[in-house]
Each structure stands twice: as structure tokens, then as C-alpha cells.
Structure 1
């Protein structure tokens, strides 16, 4: 059984629950979805979920995500709740300039109805490259200035490719790291990245523990991993993990979730959820007892850390 109570994380000792409510899927697809996400956001804002962190972005759900959170908060963040969002490029022009970061921030604060956020990330810098966002007067300088003037309590870097994320970690500028799809039951390629961040006392947030769906066991995601076709080595590991889960009588999704929740390199795991029913199922999966022997089997079938989404 894994506790979901908040615990101090990183040099900032920010109290984070091990499970973070991810909102990347909160798009206005239908009235049913709108009602379900609004209800989930309201439960979070009222402290009824037992999970104190919510993660969003300027562009999630065509900005619908931040709007839903803003309506739930109604301009006030309750005691112990932590709101984090991300600065985004202009999707039409790929503008990742300092001025675009300022526009992104203001749009987010307006939608959230807040004067500041607890954690503010630079989002997906791989779209323009490390040197571009790090140049003097660029996006990273703008992010640091936002922290300095108090509109962000902590600043972070959020992206995919491990080698580029390591460059950002090694600057020593950031308080928080988010990486996705690279630290799961079947992909350990972010191990050295997370260790480097932990060595700097950064907060480490692991996103997409289900590899974008395949590790939920849902057949709709068969043949895919991390939003693309699955690699043969990864498929072999998925097949082996599925067999181990079936033999142990434990849902594959529970094993994938607990792998991240229990790992000493990870402070919180970001899981995208749209309904209270799915949230409650996720919490139930976190509470399932998994014998040590099952974890040993899963470790034995995991690919080496040089095989993952970014491998050539």
C-alpha cells in the first residue's frame, strides 16, 4: 500500500502528494466530458481528492484545461493546494521568445484567475532547441525573471528527450523537472537524468507512467508507445510485463502506476485523468499490494537504460 499524503520534495521542501492530477486531456470534446472534468476539478479545489497538486499548461485542451481549473478555484487556492502550469510557444509560429513567454504567462494567469502559480515550467523546449531558449534575453531568462518578481514560486523545465533535459538540469537554474514516457515499467532511459536532478536536489516529476496508454492494458493502445509506433524491444517488455501481471492477478495499470509512485528518484507522478471514476480507480490501483517477488520479475524484464523512446 502506497501513501498518497503530501511530503516535502526537493531543496524547496515543497509539500507534494505522490500523485499529481494531470489535465492534458481536459479538452471540450462533449458536454459529458465537460461536466465530468468540471466535477473532478471542483473536487480537487475543495480538497476532496487527497491529491494536492494539479498540472496544466497554456495549451492543454486548447487552453480549456486552465479555464476549467480557474472556474473551480474561483480566484482562490485553498490551503495546501499547489497549482502548476507551463509557458508555451505560439503554436502557429513556433515563437519561443521571451515576449511570447510573457504572453503565455499572462494568458494562463487570466484563465486561472490567479496572481501567481506555485510552479511554472518552460514547456517542450525541444521544439526550438537548448541554445535557442538559453540565449541571453531568451525564454529561460524570462522564466527566471518571473520567479524573481514573485509570479512563480518555483520554476521548472518540462520536456521529452533525455539528453536535452539533462542539459537543462546541468545548468543548475531550475527547481523542478518533468519528463514523460521515459521512466516506466518498460523504459528506464530517464534513470540517469532523474539521478542528476536528484543530486541537485531538484523536484522530480514523472509523467505518463502508462507509456501513453499501452501499460493500462487497454487494447486501443496496442502497438503504440509514447504517441508513436512501439519499438520491438519495448513490445517484448510489454508482453513480459503483461504476463507477469496476469500471473500475479494484478492489473497491469496498477503495476505501471506503482512502479513510478514507489521509486525513490520520483517525488510525484503526473497522471492524466478526466473523471472522478478514473481518479478513484487510480487511487485503488495505488493501494493494491504487490509482492517483492513481482517487482523482481518486472525489473528482470525491463530493457537496459540505453533503450527507450530517444534511442537511434
Structure 2
């Protein structure tokens, strides 16, 4: 067993999140699915309570993640007004979902809404979310969203700031400004897409906290036989579907769930401090811990690498 594989057994072990000084578990509970129509409120609250009782200490949400902030706020209230000591809760500034407004004024409203929903007056970590929905030049302009995010840090409303999005080239430009303490990339570092591999290493070298989200690609790598054909919020290409099928068949022969390999692919990378993955019920959260700890032999990883699609099929 390699050292990297041994590290996978410690998904709840605390690691330093880059230069932030925050110590976080290597698995982070994502709450993007905590919304009316996708998840009953009772399930979300039960999952939040299970999280509070369990070994993980890292929780991710966002202003535009449905009802997640409100539901997390209810969990916090049920816990007496605060999460367990050492818990790191992060949220994200979001554009207006109707008008796509990314102005500084919208960023302030976004944070105010988040703090009210969560029942908090400050946050340890706050990200600018999905700036690919505007332009880099606007985001970095005087009076733009990045300037406002930095101002929140100066005002003491947040301790650390980060950038969260998808396109690798765009994220690299933001990382290289030196303004950010942390990075979230999603759907670009998985069994079937390695687009963000260089960005992840680069950000880690610069001292940023590095988080990888959607290690199961938004569904296609979550179960075998394949039950979903979506990857990165769009229909997966035929090449990606074929690769996922081949990987799932190989893993099935070895008695290994496809989801375990998808999750551990992210956990194995020492440049990734924490992996964000969603759970809608307490059972799903418990299942993630089990998937993260299942032994996967070295030769299986070698075969999975051989089955990975060519970079021409990657999203970036």
C-alpha cells in the first residue's frame, strides 16, 4: 500500500488549508442539493445534525444553493446557536439569479442574506462564485465583485477569501492575482477529466487552500451500472460515457464501487486539501465515509489511468 493510499483512510484527519491556518477534514460536506424539490427539509436537517455529530468538520454552501443556508441555519439553531468547536463553514457570493447582477452592491446583499440565513455575524471563509458568468475584466474592475470581496475581509466580516468556478484558464488568472487564499475547482479533476491537474498543483505551490468539488462529475461516476449521463452540468460526451462504462465494469469485477474510486481519485492527490461532495441524507453521509476508506489496490489505479479519456474530451 502506498502512502497516498494510506492517507485515504484518514478522510476525517485535519489538514492545513493552505496559508489560511484553518484545519479542515479531507472530506467537506457539500449542500448544493439541499433545496425544495430535490431534498426534503427534514432530510437536510437530519444530515446536518449527523455531520455535527461525526468526524468531519468542513461544511460548504452558497447563497444560490436553494434552501441550504436556511437549513444550515436551522441546524445551527438546534445546536444552541453554534456549530461544534473547530467546524469550518464556508459560503459563496453569488450573482442575482434573475438579473445576473454581479455588482459590488449585489455582492454585499449576497453576504448579508447569507449571514442572516445562517444566523452568523462573520465567516471564516468566503468565495466569489462562478465568475465565468461575467468577464474577468469586470470582476477585477474598480468597484467590481473582487474589490468588494477584498473589502469584506478588510472590514472583518470574513477571515479569508477564495475563488470558485469551472473554466481552468479563468481560474488560473484569478489565482495569479495573489488576492485569494483558497480555490475551488469543480468537475475538472475526476477519473474522466484531468483539466485542473496543473491548476491544482500551481495553486497549492502558491500556498492557497485547494478544494476539488464534484469528484463524481455530477452523477455519471456515482453508480454502476451507469444510471446518469450528465457530466459537469451537461450531457456527457460519448467518449466520457464509454470511459465511465469501462471503468465501472473493471471496478465491478474487483468488487469496488465506482463511486469509491471516483471519490478516492480526488483524495489521493496531496495537492488537494479537501474534496467537496454532497449528501442528502444521513445514510448518504455515512456512505461517503465508507467509500473513502475502502481499499483500492495500486494495480486498479493503473488500469483506471489507462482507461481515462484523451485530453481532447476534457471540458477545458
- Give the TM-score normalised by structure 2: 0.92
Is 1:48 the counterpart of 2:56? The answer is: no
How big is the shift at 1:149?
1.4
Is 1:122 the counterpart of 2:128? The answer is: yes
Where structure 2 has 5 or more consecutive residues not aligned to the other structure, the ranges are 1-7
Is 1:60 the counterpart of 2:65? The answer is: yes
Q: 73, 95, 108: which one pairs with 1:102?
A: 108
Higher mean C-alpha deviation, range 228-237 or range 209-218: 228-237
Alignment of 1:214-229 (within 5 A): 214-217=220-223, 221-229=227-235
Is 1:278 the counterpart of 2:284? The answer is: yes
Q: 153, 172, 180: which one pairs with 1:174?
A: 180
Name the CA distance, whole Å, in 1 between partners of 2:152 and 2:261.
Answer: 38
Is 1:2 the counterpart of 2:9? The answer is: yes
Give the 3-state SS of the residue equivalent to 1:215 in structure 2.
coil
Which residue of structure 2 lines up, in the alignment, with residue 16 of structure 1? 24
Residues 123 and 158, structure 2, Cα contact 8 Å, conserved in 1? yes
Residues 221 and 258, structure 2, Cα contact 8 Å, conserved in 1? yes
Give the 3-state SS of the residue equivalent to 2:90 in structure 1.
strand
Higher mean C-alpha deviation, range 79-88 or range 227-236: 227-236
Name the CA distance, whole Å, in 1 between partners of 2:132 and 2:245.
Answer: 31
* Runs of 4+ residues over 6 Å off in structure 1: none
Which residue of structure 2 lines up, in the alignment, with residue 165 of structure 1? 171
Evaluate the alpha carbon distance shift between residue 111 and residue 136 of structure 1 in structure 2; reply closer, same or farther with a 3 A threshold: same
Which residue of structure 2 lines up, in the alignment, with residue 34 of structure 1? 41
Residues 188 and 303, structure 1, Cα contact 8 Å, conserved in 2? no
Where structure 1 has 5 or more consecutive residues not aligned to the other structure, the ranges are none
Aligned pairs, number: 305
Residues 176 and 202, structure 1, Cα contact 8 Å, conserved in 2? yes
Name the CA distance, whole Å, in 2 between partners of 1:202 and 1:86.
Answer: 17
Relative contact order: is structure 1 or structure 2 higher (C-alpha 8 Å, sep ≥ 6)? 2
How big is the shift at 1:92?
1.3
How big is the shift at 1:219?
5.8
Instruction: Deviation per CA, 1:98-147: give whole Å up to 9, x if none.
Output: 11100000000000000111110001101111111110121001000111
Name the CA distance, whole Å, in 2 between partners of 1:191 and 1:181.
Answer: 11
Alignment of 1:230-269 (within 5 A): 230-269=236-275
- Give the TM-score normalised by structure 1: 0.94
Q: 212, 216, 228: which one pairs with 1:210?
A: 216
Evaluate the alpha carbon distance shift between residue 230 and residue 106 of structure 1 in structure 2; reply closer, same or farther with a 3 A threshold: same
Name the CA distance, whole Å, in 2 between partners of 1:36 and 1:5.
Answer: 26
Pairwise CA RMSD: 1.6
